[in-house]
Amino acid sequence: MASDTPVSAKSKKIITLFILFAIAFTVFFSVLAQRALSERHTPRLFTSSTTKAKRGDIVSADGFHIATTRKLYKATVDTRNIDPGKKELFVQLFSIYSGIPADKVRRKLRKKRGSVVLSYNISPKRAQYLKSLAFELRRLGVFVEYTTPSGREILHGLSVVESGEARVYPYGKLLTPLIGYPRKYEDEGYTRNRGIKGLEKQFDEDLHARQNGYAYAPRDINNYKRLTKQSRYLPAVDGYTLKLTIPVSLQIRVEKIAETMKTYLRAKEVMAVIMESETGRVLSLASSNRFNPTHIRRSDYPSLNTGALEYSFEPGSVLKPLVFSILLEHGKVDPYDIVNIHGGRFKIGRKVIRDEHKFDWLSAENVIVHSSNVGIAQLAQKLDGEEFHEGMLRFGLTRPTGMDLPYEKRGTMPSVRQLNSELYKAITAYGYGIRVNLMQLLKAYNVFNNGGKMVVPTVVDGLIDPVTGEKIVFDPEPPEQVLTPATAARMKKILVKTVLEGTGKGTITPGLEIGGKTGTAHIAERKGYVNKYNTSFLGFANDAQGHRYTIGVTVVKPKKYHFASLTAVAVFKKIVDMMVREGYLVPEIPEEKQP
């Protein structure tokens, strides 16, 4: 019996060791299984990033960027991570690198405890500076960990991330209100811009960013992407670039003329448009009233509209050549017919029509040259209401000009029935009872300088594809033959004569062919016509080298003078003189006669 005891004890030891080993292996394999089945916090093998595409630019005919887009970055810091003893160091360094005053930074940090946005408007250049600063601040121990209530230790530091885009206008007020302005909106937490007025509105869809970029690729130990077969890459595609027909060099000068003359004439606004007569390409669309698209103030509100399209007015005597050309086209008048002017005073019904200059008799064409209300009122009676109405429509009045701009005011005109009335016919013939905008008048007058053909004015040369760099040109509308070439040629001679002998003498420029017509119109307010005026001059300037331009000027409510011959004519003349200096027009200098 004694011999069994050692064996029994040995067996127990072996069994105990076996159980311990079994338990150890069970625990070991349980841990392996848990780790295999549970989510492991290992470094990611792949990394991804998104690149935001930008809104397209607006570029002048001579290559200057009138509107462009700058990316914005947001700077955020958690106040709990800032070492209290080094808080002032953080404030001073952040102020230097960001350009934000130190006092403003302190106020933001005091406002709340936790995550604080120091700025939403960090430029790309300063964002790079601040990212470098964030690294240095960590190295200097400015940031320390803080412990959450759950016991977790967190260290965030300074964060600088892309937050949106800002529209930038490097030349400030230049080309406004034509360019228009955008408004910010949030797109999944990213600030973008949407066009509200002008070209920004009209071409909003084309300018809008087309495709954000995306990259997915294996990463190395430094978190840099490695290009492999597993990589995926989608490039960012910005919006189209809008190329204008307007050169900055010319636009600046016309705007300066408009500003100067507005001050001199004490006017509410001066508008001027220059257009190539054959193509309809607008080389300048200027207003004295402009604004900074990035800082619009309440006082700017009246200047936000493109007056050449959005301001309608009674045109006055600039309408007379249109009426006279309709008479010529229908064979209702001969330029040499004699018209009784009745000493400048003529009565139709209860309405007494008066002339500024008192003539007894004028030839039909001199009715235009000397701007006789009495004469055109009588000649217009030769047209029936339908002929009058249809003629005005063919010239584009009360119809959209077809320009690539929004919110155009089309104006109003008496109906066919009304134009069958002698009084309506007379009043409309010298430019009252009908409303137009400056671009409609320019488009109509261009017919006289373009062989009777009407073209659509345009300020956009085309779109430039951001990927290929190719220009996408819009198909122009074919010219419309409004007048026969013979009628257009005759009207052109009459308008040249109007400059040489009549109300447009102030525009005479030796060596150039200048033609055009003045218009001075009372302004109607609630209680009728008041002692306020709009004045206009519509005409053309041509040289012997083939340069042909149609130019329109409207001066709104001038106070110094109220006649077009002293207001709109003066603006027109300054524009022509400037175009000569800049080489757009080359006067023909006659050779001196040999002795």
Distance CA 404, CA 306 (A): 12
Among the residue ranges 41-45, 72-76, 78-82, 513-517, the one predicted with the least confidence is: 41-45
Q: What is the pLDDT of residue 218?
A: 77
Inter-residue contact 99 to 200 (CB < 8 Å):
no
**How confident is the model at residue 145, as a pLDDT?**
87
Query: Is the model's pLDDT at 321 over the cut of 60?
Result: yes
19-48 burial, b at 16+ Cβ within 10 Å, e below that, comes to eeeeeeeeeeeeeeeeeeeeeeeeeeeeee
Domain locations in the chain? 54-206, 248-293+306-581
The whole-number pLDDT of residue 593 equals: 45
Provide, rounded to the nearest whole percent, the portion of the chain with pLDDT above 90. Answer: 77
What's the 3-state SS for 121-146? Answer: EECHHHHHHHHHHHHHHHHCCCECCE
**17-31, 177-191, 518-532: which has the minimum mean pLDDT?**
17-31
Mean pLDDT of 474-486: 94
Q: Residue 429's pLDDT is what?
A: 98
**pLDDT-derived band of residue 491, with 50, 70 and 90 as boundaries?**
very high
* Least confident window among 197-206, 241-250, 521-530: 521-530
- Taken as a whole, the chain contains a residue count of 595
Q: What's the confidence (pLDDT) of residue 37?
A: 58
Q: Are 504 and 498 in contact (CB under 8 A)?
A: yes
Strands (E), 344-498: 345-348, 351-354, 361-363, 453-454, 460-464, 471-472, 480-481
Domain 54-206: state its class: alpha beta
pLDDT at 137 over 80: yes
Cis peptide before 177 (omega within 30 of 0): yes
| CATH dotted code for 248-293+306-581 | 3.40.710.10
The per-residue pLDDT of the chain, averaged, comes to: 91
Sign of the CA dihedral with 204 first, then 206, 207, and 210 last: positive
Lowest mean pLDDT among 24-33, 140-149, 382-391: 24-33
pLDDT top residue among 7 and 550:
550
Within a 10 A sphere around the Cβ of 539, how many other Cβ atoms? 30
pLDDT at 222: 53
User: Do the beta carbons of residue 397 and residue 280 sit within 8 Å?
Assistant: no
Span 13-40, pLDDT tens digits: 777 777 777 777 776 667 666 655 555 4
pLDDT band for position 46 (50/70/90)? Answer: low
Query: CA 463, 467, 471 angle in degrees (round to 5)?
Result: 25
DSSP label of 114: S
Q: Name the token pair of 172.
A: 């400030």
When mean pLDDT is compared over 67-76, 109-118, 138-147, 385-394, the highest value belongs to: 385-394
Name residue 269's beta-bridge partners: 556
Q: Which of 79-93, 204-218, 274-288, 427-441 has the lowest mean pLDDT?
A: 204-218
Mean pLDDT, range 198-215, rounded to an integer: 94
Q: How confident is the model at residue 42 (pLDDT cuts 50, 70, 90)?
A: very low
pLDDT band at 594 (very low <50, low <70, confident <90, very high): very low
pLDDT value at position 1? Answer: 45
pLDDT in tens, 540-576: 999 999 999 999 999 999 999 999 999 999 999 999 9
pTM score: 0.85
What is the structure's pLDDT at 527? 80
pLDDT digits (tens, 9 = 90+) for 271-285: 999 999 999 999 999
pLDDT value, residue 44: 56
Q: Is 467 helix (H, G, I), strand (E, B) or coil?
A: coil
Alpha-carbon gap, residue 317 to 324, rounded angstroms: 11
pLDDT computed for residue 91 by the predictor? 94
Quick one: pLDDT at residue 2? Answer: 46
One DSSP character per residue, 262-328 reads HHHHT-SEEEEEEEETTT-BEEEEEES----TTS--GGGGGGSS-HHHH--B--GGGGHHHHHHHHH
- Is 198 a residue whose pLDDT tops 60? yes
What is the percent of the chain where pLDDT is above 70?
Answer: 92
